[in-house]
Amino acid sequence: MYFTTKMILNATVLLNSLEFARTSGLRTATPYFEYYAALSLLRGLVYTIPTEDWNSGELMAIPHTRAINVAFDWVAKFDKSLAAEMKKTALQLKAQRELIAYKAPASGDKNIGANYDLIDFLTILAEVAEFNSELLEGSISKNADPASFEVLDEHIHQIATVEVEGFTFSDDEDYWRLGYVQRKTRRPYHLGLFMHPGQSEDFIGAWDGDEDAGETFSNGSPSNWQAIFDVP
């Protein structure tokens, strides 16, 4: 649940960054912000699918294409036509990001479309993830002994420390948050209840610009964080 809440918060930050880029005329950045906001929610959804194996943390590194396929195979269980339409949008966002990154189009962003509602797209993914988490919570409450729930040190380490291309990144905030979950949380809760104001304020605020350094970007107040999920 924790990692999915981070994906929701990350998508929220990327949406705010997208709006800042648009108002600032940073057109080269918009395909990146759009796609990675989508990818964050796709991965966040995948982490809540009960058939997906954690595999010692390897699930967190799920490749882009597989995340798209797994997520929309799951959405198709509820609505096949919606899943097909959304998958097409995800592939379009991916293609537009790759166009800018790999082809450096001389005509700028003239060939980049906008025939999709990104907010609706992200909201649906977040709501399906929330629904999955509610099913999980209900099943655990009905069928499992609360005493059997345990947050393992190895799982905390797998989330809070990652290695990419031989470089290791450790996140003290993740260690602190997960340590709190380990001490205080007695069983899994659905995403809306698991996420709390302190987490959202610290995560989103970490990406605000430094006013003393003249950096103007700000995610704003919590009232600006509700576009795709009921962030506390």
Confidence at residue 224, expressed as pLDDT on a 0 to 100 scale: 82
Asked if residue 122 lies in contact with residue 228, where contact means CB atoms within 8 angstroms, the answer is yes
Give the residues of the chain that fall short of pLDDT 70.
Answer: none
pLDDT tens for residues 80-134?
999 999 999 999 999 999 999 999 999 999 889 788 999 999 999 999 999 999 9
Pair of tokens at residue 41: 């929610």
Cα(77)–Cα(178) distance, integer angstroms: 32
The answer to whether 61 touches 39, Cβ cutoff 8 Å, is no
pLDDT of residue 57: 84
**Neighbour-count burial of 74, counting CB atoms closer than 10 A to its CB (0-12 exposed, 13-18 middle, 19+ buried):** buried
d(CA 215, CA 15): 18
pLDDT of residue 24: 94
Give residue 221's pLDDT.
85
Dihedral sign, CA of 223, 224, 225, 228? positive
**Contact assessment for residue 33 and residue 15, using Cβ atoms and an 8 Å cutoff:** yes
